[in-house]
């Protein structure tokens, strides 16, 4: 099993004092991966920046113009959550390109699985708008690149960030070529992700939102994977598995609002996603980093995901176990099974 990672120190230059989406996120990941010997098992993949042509597959010219204008002004606060500095444009182009590089590496057999460790993140960015810490929608750029460059017809994007990936949903809402599956707190930022949102036009039925209350943890997430995601993918049979890997659903995350996952829960989800990739997509899976704002939780949870790709057991979380019992969501799972005709 060969697992690759994509990283450039340029992504650390995108920063704003006191902002939770900080360079220390990546530094913490790299430190834990180094200290545990994980890095020695990985294949380094050199990132290359996306081109305007790559970005225009999923974004509008208006959107690119906004980023360019902000860059020329030396960076600015795009909204209350989303910033740019003098390095942000370059970092954003490289983060989008790195997601494509991660896909290329698995599609061409350089590695069996890959993880893009780049920032800024992407899944909130819509066709026309940067928001929610995100400038370009990295995973959407990568998915559309895979569809067009490798003639794929079916790509799974699974998003386990605690915040709904409104941008990814928006971009592919009418397309059957991408099945967007999201687990997220609801109601919560950015306000989207209702279970009724199942896609439109040719994309109807290819969007599954699992809107979760607070206090949902490892056991219930495992049920979502086993009872909803796997059966849906057995029917869809994706040719590539992409993961919006946001680790802010960890119980210790300051922005996660009492979601109770720990590293073992992230490991299990990754195991199921890898099983889907092996069963239907020739083993091809790429993880693209999204959120995660407790640096220790992010580092250990991302490590757990990579160890799961290797098939290594993850039996505990150095950050600690969730502090309370989790909520049962049987009614929600049964309802979604009915909505998506999985029973």
Query: Which are the contacts of 278, defined by CB distance < 8 A and separation ≥ 6?
Result: none
The DSSP line for 145-156 is HHHHHS--S-EE
Q: Is 6 helix (H, G, I), strand (E, B) or coil?
A: strand
User: Whole-angstrom Cα distance, residue 145 to residue 319?
Assistant: 37
Count of CB atoms within 10 A of residue 155's CB? Answer: 27
CA 164 – CA 181 distance, rounded (Å): 10
The Cβ-side half-sphere exposure at 269, using a 13 Å CA radius, reads: 34
Residue 124 a catalytic site member: yes
Is residue 182 within 8 Å of 139, Cβ to Cβ?
A: no
Angle between helices 88-107 and 138-149 (to 10 degrees): 40
CA atoms within 13 A on the CB side of 23: 13
Which residue in 14, 59, 63, 124 is the catalytic one?
A: 124
Phi, psi of 317 (to 5 degrees): -130, 115
CA 285 from chain centre, in angstroms, equals 12
- Which active-site residues does the annotation give? 124
């Amino acid at each position: 099993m060969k697992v690759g990672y994509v990283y450039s120190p340029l992504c650390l230059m995108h920063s704003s004092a006191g902002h939770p989406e900080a360079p220390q996120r990546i530094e913490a990941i790299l430190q834990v991966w180094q200290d545990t010997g994980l890095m020695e098992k990985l294949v380094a993949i050199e990132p290359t920046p996306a081109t305007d042509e790559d970005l225009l597959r999923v974004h509008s010219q208006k959107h690119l113009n906004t980023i360019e204008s902000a860059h020329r002004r030396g960076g600015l606060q795009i909204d209350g959550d989303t910033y740019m500095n003098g390095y942000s444009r370059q970092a954003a182009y490289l983060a989008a390109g790195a997601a494509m590089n991660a896909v290329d590496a698995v599609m061409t057999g350089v590695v069996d699985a890959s993880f893009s460790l780049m920032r800024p993140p992407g899944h909130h960015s819509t066709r026309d708008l940067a928001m929610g810490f995100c400038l370009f929608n990295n995973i959407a750029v990568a998915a559309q690149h895979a569809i067009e460059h490798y003639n794929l017809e079916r790509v799974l994007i699974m998003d386990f960030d605690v915040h709904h990936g409104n941008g990814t949903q928006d971009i592919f809402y009418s397309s059957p070529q991408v099945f967007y599956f999201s687990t997220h707190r609801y109601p919560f930022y950015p306000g989207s992700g209702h279970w009724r949102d199942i896609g439109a036009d040719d994309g109807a039925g290819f969007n599954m939102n699992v809107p979760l209350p607070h206090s949902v943890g490892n056991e219930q997430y495992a049920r979502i994977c086993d009872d909803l995601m796997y059966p849906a993918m057995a029917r869809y049979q994706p040719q590539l598995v992409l993961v919006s890997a946001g680790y802010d659903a960890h119980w210790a995350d300051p922005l996660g609002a009492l979601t109770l996952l720990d590293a073992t829960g992230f490991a299990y989800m990754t195991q199921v996603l890898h099983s889907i990739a092996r069963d239907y997509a020739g083993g091809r899976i790429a993880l693209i980093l999204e959120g995660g704002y407790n640096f220790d939780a992010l580092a250990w949870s991302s490590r757990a995901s990579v160890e799961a790709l290797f098939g290594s057991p993850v039996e505990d979380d150095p950050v600690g176990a969730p502090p309370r019992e989790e909520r049962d969501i049987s009614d929600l799972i049964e309802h979604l099974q009915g909505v998506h005709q999985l029973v």
